[in-house]
Structure 1
């Protein structure tokens, strides 16, 4: 649910829920209290009439009932209303209903039944005999009078006096219960909304705060669980994605630092080996050990070869730095496959002959087949693969074969050797940077560990693909393919 939708729901809930619940509770409470009022005061009016004019309704019903009883007594014996005991009995019936009797003969009060709990009326407050009204309101009291004649001819009147503010305790209870109901409804609604907002907003924000604190402390090994499907949930999802990317970046950085340290260690070792050899041969020349022209020529040639090894390592390191910065200087041209690989084969044959390795070249492509490639970088690919074959050659009669094949829209180059081979567990990783199947650092199998990663990078930048097959003890075949160049003809 969207956060905007939640706010709208919360707004509507604050307005509608209290209104509906208060109305519901008011109906229940008022129904219960009105039934009590009906039973107490014998009122048959409906709830609306009772609430709208409760004092008059109840007083009318109450006084009317008593008037009927008084009228019966007056018709039977009006002089009873001079009997104090009789009047006390009748007055006691009214006291429980917040009312009392006043009996007057002529202008004299014969009986006043008010108590300390109910305010009394003075004689002058009572209506005169000439007043045609039978009901009056005096302050907070309602008075209803009934006039008659005593047997001796004296004028008599009986008044029912009711304290308006005291006569209906049920109405007070009703009002109090309604107020309490409204407060409870508001409190419950607020509690529900607070819980909902806490679960929807504060809880995910708290998780975000905790996750931020962990990242600030350098701890990225945690997971931010996302349970919401709103803007806050999307924020948590984005934050978790950021944490994962940050963790990957840190891990890549650590791996990069480790690989750089390994590279420096590898290059240092591989540079130290030819330098040590050069120093030894130079010292031999300086000490006069090379005392014949043949020895001198052999020493100088060895020094030259070792210097070439150093130059190759430095060149490889320089090229690696360009790969890391994606700044490899490519110069793409249209190259004739037959002519180009024939030149490569001639150079390889000379170099491999010096290492006493047999070389074979086989071209199965037509003479007009061409590719778009960087001649210098493509030669680097072939030389790096062949150098690896020579480095790991363990046969007394080494062999390296170069085959060029036509495979539809591509040419496929295969470089095969009969060296020690590569274990199947290592084969998927040989094109990774710094991966070496032989972790030993002897001089015969040294190397930076980046040669084949450079090969893969160059081939992929040419739009090609490279892979290898190998069998331990038998040899390895490296394959790479390049797309043929085809002229676009317009009709």
Structure 2
């Protein structure tokens, strides 16, 4: 439920709940103050009014049809008795002389009460009151002897007004209490549903500020605050990954510097040893001099190759080396590469072959120069470790639906399973001694991985001890394949 709907429902509840509660309270208080057995000790207000109306209606009818009955003491006592039960009383005058006065009427104030009363027929009986307490109904009659008289019905509303004077203030107080409690509870519930998750977000922000990125934020809500919490959690995860990646880069940088230092120090040490031998006069023949100079040249070439590959790897790693992609047939490209290698002096005792899985063209989009670097690095890596008399390198092309798979297989000694996942790491060599005579710079396969991933492909290796190693890499197929078919 969204916060907007939640607030709307709370506003509706703040309106209707007090109304319902006040109606319930009023329903409870009315019988208490105006019902039988309540503080008024009389019938319910509406029942009392109806009974009075019936009695006064009967008295009015008798005044019009049988006025002489009001001279009958027994009739008058019976009527007065009925009126007394509804807090009313009967007074009858004949020729301005009182001929009947109810026992409940205070005769000392009767004349003053009647004089103050002025009949106002347009007003209902409960508004024709005297002293704010009594209501008086007046009916003029004419007796059989042609004398005139008046019938008064005096009703006492004091107990009703006493009940009302307590009922309405209590009802108003109940209204204020109900509105206050209802609004307080609803405001608390709504505010808690908003403030508590905000406090959770603040706590998470404080944890991040202190460097703790493991403090998760799970609000378990689907409203706007829940979406905010989800975005905050995603930010925390990405920030944690970013810092972890940054630390990993820092660790890799330190490792790179250490590896560079080691690999550069080895040829420099050799060069210094040769120079020292020349300076100390150890080189006393032309043959030795030539040998030492060749050693210096070899070490310098090794350093130059290491620096070149290091610069290439750094540019690839920083994505600062541009790729020049073009459409090409991978099958024809590999065939040309294998044919070129057959004339390489290093392949004199190596049997190299190319096996395509089909005779169709395999269109890919690739950088020819960098793809050639991949091909040569893998082949050179195989040549360094092959120790059999009959050396073999086989290049296979597997044409899949969405990608082309190239497999370069040799019959070398193989690589142990524990070392296999690490061969694409920079400066990694399978022999612990890091012997540059066989291990090379340690960047060849790392460069292969960077170039292939720059093409959007994958690279991996499979090997069996004593049988050889296979290096695989993939290249995404171009859209030209669909046109060829």
Which of residues 337, 341, 366 is equivalent to 1:340? 337
For 1:414, the equivalent position in structure 2 comes to 408
For 2:351, the equivalent position in structure 1 comes to 360
Distance change >3 Å, CA 215–CA 411, structure 1 → 2: closer
Q: Secondary structure at the match of 1:45?
A: helix
Q: Secondary structure at the match of 2:460?
A: strand
CA contact (8 A) 1:270 1:446 kept: no
For 1:326, the equivalent position in structure 2 comes to 319
Question: Residue 184 of structure 1: CA displacement?
Answer: 3.5
Q: Secondary structure at the match of 1:41?
A: coil
For 1:12, the equivalent position in structure 2 comes to 12
TM norm structure 1: 0.71
Q: Which moved more, 1:248-257 or 1:29-38?
A: 29-38
**CA separation in 1, counterparts of 2:428 and 2:88?**
108
Q: Which moved more, 1:454-463 or 1:5-14?
A: 454-463
**CA separation in 1, counterparts of 2:420 and 2:158?**
101
CA contact (8 A) 2:88 2:153 kept: no
Distance change >3 Å, CA 12–CA 143, structure 1 → 2: closer
**CA separation in 1, counterparts of 2:372 and 2:118?**
133
Superposed CA deviations along residues 14-55 of structure 1, whole A, max 9, x for unmatched, are 2222222222332233244332378722357359x69xxxxx
CA contact (8 A) 2:457 2:475 kept: yes
Gaps in structure 2 of 5+ consecutive residues: 57-68, 77-83, 139-150
For 1:290, the equivalent position in structure 2 comes to 283
Question: Residue 145 of structure 1: CA displacement?
Answer: 10
Q: Which moved more, 1:217-226 or 1:453-462?
A: 453-462
TM norm structure 2: 0.72
Distance change >3 Å, CA 165–CA 271, structure 1 → 2: farther
Q: Which moved more, 1:309-318 or 1:365-374?
A: 365-374
Distance change >3 Å, CA 29–CA 411, structure 1 → 2: closer
Question: Residue 223 of structure 1: CA displacement?
Answer: 0.6
For 1:470, the equivalent position in structure 2 comes to 463
Gaps in structure 1 of 5+ consecutive residues: 51-55, 61-70, 79-93, 147-156
Q: Secondary structure at the match of 1:364?
A: strand
The alignment status of 1:236 with 2:223, answered yes or no, reads no
Which of residues 362, 377, 386 is equivalent to 1:384? 377
The alignment status of 1:317 with 2:310, answered yes or no, reads yes
Question: Residue 326 of structure 1: CA displacement?
Answer: 1.7
**CA separation in 2, counterparts of 1:274 and 1:129?**
133
**CA separation in 2, counterparts of 1:375 and 1:254?**
35
Report the RMSD for the aligned CA atoms in angstroms.
5.1
CA contact (8 A) 1:101 1:113 kept: no
Paired residue total: 441
Q: Secondary structure at the match of 2:194?
A: helix
User: Structure 1 stretches (4+) deviating beyond 6 angstroms?
Assistant: 97-102, 112-115, 120-124, 129-133, 157-161, 366-371, 445-448, 483-491
CA contact (8 A) 1:284 1:290 kept: yes
Distance change >3 Å, CA 453–CA 100, structure 1 → 2: farther
CA contact (8 A) 1:398 1:418 kept: no
Distance change >3 Å, CA 229–CA 440, structure 1 → 2: farther
For 1:127, the equivalent position in structure 2 comes to 114
CA contact (8 A) 2:136 2:155 kept: yes
CA contact (8 A) 1:29 1:174 kept: yes
Distance change >3 Å, CA 248–CA 129, structure 1 → 2: closer
For 1:252, the equivalent position in structure 2 comes to 245
**CA separation in 2, counterparts of 1:2 and 1:129?**
67
CA contact (8 A) 2:396 2:407 kept: yes
Distance change >3 Å, CA 448–CA 202, structure 1 → 2: farther
CA contact (8 A) 2:34 2:160 kept: no
Superposed CA deviations along residues 88-116 of structure 1, whole A, max 9, x for unmatched, are xxxxxx9xx999999xx999xxxx9999x
CA contact (8 A) 2:22 2:175 kept: yes
Query: Aligned runs of 1:116-155 on 2, under 5 Å?
Result: 125-128=112-115, 137-142=129-134
The alignment status of 1:265 with 2:258, answered yes or no, reads yes
